[in-house]
Amino acid sequence: MTANVAPSSCIAVHSRSGVGTGTWLDAVLLPDCDSNMEVSKKLLNSVPGCVDDALRGLTSCCPGLRVLQGHRVVLRADLEKIKGRVALLSGGGSGHEPAHAGYVGPGMLTGAIAGPVFTSPPVGSIMAAIRAVAHAGAAGVLLIVKNYTGDRLNFGLALERARREGAEVEMVVIGDDCAFTSPRKAGRRGICGTVLMHKIAGALAEQGRSLKEICQVVKEASAGLGTLGVSLSPCSVPGSGPTFQLAADELELGLGIHGEAGVRRDKMMTSDEVVKIMIDHMTDPASQSRVNVNPGDSVILVVNNLGGLSCLELQIVADSAVRCLEKKGLLIKRAMMGSFMTALEMSGVSLTMMMTSEELLTLYDYETSAPAWPHVPCVSVTGQMRTFPCVPETSQPEDPEPDSKQVQVYSRVLEHICQILLTLEEELNDLDRAAGDGDCGSTHARAAHAIRSWLSAATLPSSPARLLTTLSEVLLEKMGGTSGALYSLFLTAAAHPLQNQRGPQAWAAAMEAGIEAMKRYGGAEPGDRTMLDSLCVAAQVLQALQTPHCDVMQTLSLAVQKAAEAAENTKNMTAGAGRASYIGSSSLTRPDPGAVAAAAILKAIWQGLGEK
C-alpha cells in the first residue's frame, strides 16, 4: 500500500515527524534526515529482504499457499480450482500483516500482491498475478484496492494493461475511514474494513457468481462500512525510527495505518471513554464519512489490533465497544477481535462497523480456509447470555446451641493473635525487605484488622470446624497475597479433622492436616526458609497431645518455644521456596518473616488459652 494521502495529511505528518521538506514517504523511508531519530529494534535478517522473508514464513507454515516465483505474490495452492470462477486479487504495502496474504484461500482471496513496507506493489507483480489466475482459467478478475493514491494508480495501470491483453478485469476501491467528517479530494482512506470486503467477495466467488454481480454486492456493502482507529504510540518502518511522536499521556484519534495524521489528539482516558468518542464520531449525523446507523439496525463489529496492543487491552476495548453499540440500540450480529490489519508495532486499535443484512451475514459466515480469518461463531452477539449464575454454596448445618464459654475462648485467642500481629507489623516489614517487597507485616496487620472486624460484626460459631472454615474465608478475602492463600489453605484443611472429633487429639490432627496441605500445594518443605519451619517443629511437639492425660498447656508452651527457635534458625538457611529463593543466600542474614509471624501466632494462641 502506498503512503500517499491528501496533501493536508502529509503536512500534518511532516510537522510531527520532525521532517522539514519532501514527501511523507521520504519522512518514513529516509530516517537519516533527522540525526536525532533512533532506529527501532526489529527481528529481521535484513531490511531489504524483510518482506520476502515474511512471505516465505507464511507459505512455509501454510501449505495451502504458494509464492509466485520472482514476485512478492501469494496465491492459493489449489489454483486449478478457480477455473470458471472469478479470481479475487488484493494487496498493498507490507507492514499490515496478516493483511493481505493471510486472507488468501478458498472462500476469500485468490491471491495477494505485497509491496515494500508501506509502499504500493509494483505494476509488474500485479500483472504477474493477473496472468497467473487468468492462465488457471479464471472467469474474470476482481481487484479489491484500498483507497490510497499509489494503490489506485498501480492497480489501475495493471488493470488497463491486462484488459489490453484480453483479460476481463474490474476494480473496486474501498474507502472506509471515518476520521474526516468532510473527506479530502482523495476520498476516505481504505483501512481494516477492506478485510470484510475480501470475505464477502470471496464467498460470492466461491458460489460461482459473475464478476458483475460480485462488483455490485461489494460496492453496496462497502457503502455501509466504516472504520476509525486510535493510537497510543507510533510505529517504525524497518531500518528507521518512529514515524511520529506521541507524548506519554497522549493518544491520537483517526490516524491512518501508516501513521499519517488523525483528526485530534487527547489526553489518555479509559477504554469506555475512548470507545464512546470513537463510535460517536463514526455515527455523527453531521459527518459525511459516517456509518449511517439507527437504533434497531444490524451490524458486524471488528475490533482490530493495530499491532502492539496487548490481548488484555484488546478484550477490554471489545467489551467497551459491544456495550456502547448495544446502548445505542444496535444489534451486533457478528463480532470478531484480533489482528486483522495492523500498522507494524503500533499500539492502538481500530473499530469497524458494517451494516448487514441476512444476505451479507450468509456471505460473512461462508466457510473459508484463509489462514488469518478467525473462527467466528455463526450466531448473533446481541441477545446472548454472557454469564452463568453462580451455583450457591452448600449450606452448612446450623450450629447447635452455641457454647458461650467456647466462643469466649475463641474470641480471646483471636484478639491475642490480632494484637501480636499489629505489634509486629514494622518488624515483619523490615525482615521482609531483605528478600521481598517489604509488606509481610502490613499483610499480617491487614489480616488482624479483618479478624477484628469479623469479631465485632458476627457471633463466632462454637463448632471448631466452622470456626476455622469461616476464618479461612475472612483471610482469603481480606488478607490477600500469597500469605492470605496459604493461611486460608491451612485453615480449610485443618477444619476437616475437627468436623467429627473434639479434644486435644483432634487439634493435633488439624495441625498436621493444615501443614500437609501447605506442603502439597505451596511446594515448600521444612528447611526451605518459610513459615513451615516454625509450624513443622511445633507440630512435632504437639503430637504429644495424642497421649492420654497429656498436659495441654505445658505441651503448647514447649511447641511455642521450639517454634520461636526454629524461626530464629531460618537466618542460617538457604531459601528453597518463595520470593526469597531468588535472592543469594549471602544476602539473607536475618530470620524469615513468615516463620517469625507463624511462631508469634502460636505464642498468641498459648497466651489466649492460658488467660482466665
Assign residue 301 a region: left if phi > 0, alpha if psi is -120 to 50, beta otherwise?
A: beta
Q: Which cell numbers hold the place of 280?
A: 460517536
282 neighbors 290 (Cβ within 8 angstroms)? yes
Contacts of 366 (CB under 8 A, 6+ apart): 107, 199, 202, 203, 206, 207
**Roughly how many angstroms between the first and final C-alpha of the chain, as a whole number?**
85
How far is the C-alpha of 441 from the C-alpha of 588, rounded, in Å?
A: 18
Residue 547 DSSP code: S
3-class DSSP assignment, residue 89: strand
Active site residue 100: no
Omega of the bond prior to 100 within 30 degrees of 0, cis?
yes
Burial environment of residue 185 by CB neighbours within 10 A (0 to 12, 13 to 18, 19 or more): exposed
Angle at 44 between CA 41 and CA 49, to 5 degrees: 130
Radius of gyration over every alpha carbon of the chain, rounded to an integer in angstroms = 34
How far is the C-alpha of 281 from the C-alpha of 314, rounded, in Å?
A: 20
Continuous segment of H or E residues that includes residue 514: helix 504-522
The answer to whether 176 is a known ligand-binding residue is no
Residue 548 DSSP code: T
Q: Which cell numbers hold the place of 305?
A: 489490533
How far is the C-alpha of 14 from the C-alpha of 469, rounded, in Å?
A: 66
Angle at 75 between CA 71 and CA 78, to 5 degrees: 140
Looking at the DSSP bridge assignments, the partners of residue 265 are 252
Looking at the DSSP bridge assignments, the partners of residue 228 are 351
The answer to whether 146 is a known ligand-binding residue is yes
How far is the C-alpha of 28 from the C-alpha of 46, rounded, in Å?
A: 17
Looking at the DSSP bridge assignments, the partners of residue 229 are 350
The answer to whether 395 is a known ligand-binding residue is no
428 neighbors 441 (Cβ within 8 angstroms)? yes
Distances (CA, A) of 362 to 198, 201, 367: 14, 12, 10
**Which residue in the list 14, 71, 198, 258 is annotated as catalytic?**
258
The answer to whether 94 is a known ligand-binding residue is yes
3-class DSSP assignment, residue 349: strand
If you count them, how many residues does the chain have?
A: 612
Report residue 195 CA to chain centroid gap. 22
How far is the C-alpha of 243 from the C-alpha of 89, rounded, in Å?
A: 29
Nearest residue to 100 via CA among 125, 70, 137: 125
Q: Which cell numbers hold the place of 106?
A: 478458498
Assign residue 315 a region: left if phi > 0, alpha if psi is -120 to 50, beta otherwise?
A: alpha
The answer to whether 496 is a known ligand-binding residue is no
- Burial letters 346-356, b for 16+ CB under 10 A, else e: bbbbbbbbbbb
432 neighbors 444 (Cβ within 8 angstroms)? no
**CA atoms 30, 32, 38, 40: torsion sign:** positive
Looking at the DSSP bridge assignments, the partners of residue 174 are 146
Binding residues for substrate: 93-96, 146, 151
Binding residues: 93-96, 146, 151
Q: Catalytic site residues? A: 258
